[in-house]
Amino acid sequence: MRRPLLPARLAARFARRLAAGVLGLGLGLGLAPGMQFGAAWAQDPMPLSAIDWLRRGAPLSEPGAYPLTPPNGASGGVGISVRALDALRPEAVGLYPAARVGLPATLWGPTPASALAGQIATLPIDMMPALRDLSLRLLLAEFTAPLPDAGGSRGHPVGFLLARLDKLIEFGALDQAAALLDALDSADPTLRLRRFDIGLLLGDEYRACEGILRTDPAINDSAALVFCLARDGQWDIAESVLNQAIAENSVSAYEADLLSLFITGEERLPGASTLLPPPVGTPTPLAWRLLEAAGDPVTTLGLPVAFAHADLRGTAGWRAQLEAAERLVRVGALSPNRLLGLYTERRAAASGGIWERVRLVQRLDEAISRNDPEATAQALAPAWAQIVSGELEVPMASLYATSLGSMRLTGAAGDLAFRIGLLSDSYETVALGLAPDSADAQARFLAAVARGLDPVQSGSMPGDIAQAVAQAFSPLTQPPPSSRERLDQGRLGEEMLLILNRLGGPADPRVLAEGLTVLRLLGLEDIARRTALESLLLDRRG
């Protein structure tokens, strides 16, 4: 008679986790002392230029997978409407037509796919909100697939699409990346592994495992297959595949230890009282989930922003949810309304740090909700100082600019409300409402930029950044010859990616002036004005 796959003291707990489709809340499995090794990952530097923690696959000779049984009739998907423009070219898949964002379908022109993928891979994560929005448009819209490299395809056949997906994951835009993959519904093993990682990061293990358990073609990742077989209740096959993978060295010793603990409740190594120490660096999404199941979760605060989605599942404490929401809102991966909902969920029970921001934003929100100009004027400056410290100015401006403008605040509060309005989508309306006779020179300069006018004809503002903006908005300024040459050759998308890479780097007034000039030449006037205003009004790059 075969021994039980789980010790009796653990079987019920694991069954509840698996039936619910959740890996655990860090509560069920009591491990030996000395097993708190999550901090080793949280303290390592976050990878910014490449995602080295996504699974790339390992050889597997015999998958042994069976179709996944959905729990309680659950179905996959993230609720985003999508369609593929070119069914024959997966690189062309997008969430909306190019025309919706004012760009031509032939954006990529004659630039080869590998060159575009390289530019996408180096896009900075920490960039101005307007530039990040343009990046997302390029990553998510439907464009004609780029040309293959001369002499045939190089690298992975969907390498350009992988570059887009990996950058979306770096941005924390997991729902959008999942929607692209779901629209494509590709059998490609590498794309299925990407969907697996995204599902784990979103806490949707059922959807993550759908592609892993497809048998044609077999997935080339032993650890992912073992995990999904176990989740589907196929314990015997999962253990058999794990033993085979260990014998063939197609799974690391650390992953084997975690998977053995997940399946049997026992460490793989004979005589071991604890798991092996974790490898240096960011954990893979699978290792991170397995640690959570083992009762030793790794905090998301020191991990790349994509991991922050897990803290919004309702299983984390209020502070962890607040910190995760701020991180995701800061990079544009979460609606500011979601953050405001968390800010105003309850009264802060402590002071200092994030609690001070919660308390002051609550005070401002209450004053605005009562339409009380006097209370709003008193609450605005201290609340905005906390918002600035959290680098949340643009998302919070999108929430409050209209209400602040309607109150017609005066004095210092009115000046601050004017600048907040310029950081919102209503920047031009705010600028048109400025009374020229009563405004100072800086306000007139900012208003002219918001209206797309030559700002030196209206006002003045000190600093190299202001001079760069004035140069870009002067009717006499011409784009650099190199940019003009690329545009004449039809390399529009390449030029836009180059601009994003340059403007997203260290502050350089010359680069800012050239980038804004080319954005205006391309007809991206909204992006150019917003980038200029953010460069002038925000105290940072990004």
Contact (CB, 8 A) for 50 and 315: no
pLDDT at residue 278 greater than cutoff 70? no
**Whether pLDDT at 208 is above 50:** yes
Those residues whose C-beta lies under 8 Å from the C-beta of residue 270, and which sit 6 or more positions away, are none
The model's pTM is 0.82
Residue 54 is predicted with a pLDDT of 76
Question: Residue 136's pLDDT band (boundaries 50, 70, 90)?
Answer: very high
Helix (H, G, I), strand (E, B) or coil at 142: strand
Most confident of 2-6, 20-24, 499-503: 499-503
pLDDT at position 113, please? 94
Least confident of 24-33, 103-112, 491-500: 24-33
- Reference 288, options 254, 253, 251; nearest CA is 254
Q: How large is the average pLDDT for residues 250-279?
A: 71
Quick: pLDDT tens for 58-88: 444 343 334 444 444 443 334 444 544 444 4
In terms of C-beta distances under 8 Å and separation of at least 24 residues, what long-range contacts does 376-383 make, across chains too?
376/404, 376/407, 376/409, 376/413, 377/409, 377/411, 377/413, 380/404, 380/409, 380/413, 380/416, 380/417, 381/412, 381/413, 381/416
pLDDT of the residue at 68 = 43
* Crossing angle for the helix pair 318-330 and 336-343, to the nearest 10 degrees: 150
pLDDT at 265: 72
Question: Of 286, 287, 291, nearest to 274 (Cα)?
Answer: 291
Distance of CA 305 to CAs 42, 205, 538, Å? 12, 19, 22
Following CA atoms 210, 215, 219, 222 in sequence, which dihedral angle do they give, to the nearest 10 degrees?
90
Structure tokens at 1: 């008679």
Q: Compute the distance between CA of residue 367 and CA of residue 371 in angstroms, rounded to an integer.
A: 6
Range of weakest confidence among 173-177, 269-273, 480-484, 536-540: 269-273
Task: Give the span between the Cα atoms of 444 and 429, in whole angstroms.
Answer: 14
What is the structure's pLDDT at 428? 96
Q: What's the confidence (pLDDT) of residue 218?
A: 83
> Greater confidence, 5 or 172?
172
Q: What is the pLDDT of residue 81?
A: 42
Q: Is residue 267 very low, low, confident or very high in pLDDT (cuts 50, 70, 90)?
A: low
* Percent of the chain at pLDDT exceeding 70: 80
What pLDDT digit, counting tens, does each position of 399-433 carry? Answer: 999 999 999 899 999 999 999 999 999 999 999 99
Task: List alpha helices for 265-372, DSSP H.
Answer: 285-293, 318-330, 336-343, 354-369
Q: Is the peptide bond before 67 cis (omega within 30 degrees of 0)?
A: no
- pLDDT for residue 238: 93
On whether the CB atoms of residues 172 and 328 are closer than 8 A, the answer is yes
Tally Cβ neighbours within 10 Å of residue 92.
20
pLDDT, mean of residues 366-371: 96
Instruction: Kindly report the average pLDDT of the chain as a whole number.
Output: 82
Q: What is the mean pLDDT of residues 499-514?
A: 91
Contacts of 68 (CB under 8 A, 6+ apart): 206, 209, 210, 213, 228, 232
* Six token digits for residue 114: 């590998």
Give the mean model confidence (pLDDT) for residues 176-182: 95
Residues 210-233 pLDDT 10s: 999 988 788 889 999 999 999 999
Question: pLDDT class for 331, splitting at 50, 70, 90?
Answer: very high
Q: What pLDDT, on the 0 to 100 scale, is given for residue 540?
A: 61
DSSP 434-453: --TTTS-HHHHHHHHHHTTS
Look up residue 236 and give its two tokens. 């015997």
Instruction: Tell me the mean pLDDT in the region 511-515.
Output: 96
Q: How does pLDDT run across 146-170, given as a tens digit for each residue? A: 988 765 444 456 789 999 999 999 9
Least confident of 41-50, 147-156, 260-269, 473-482: 41-50
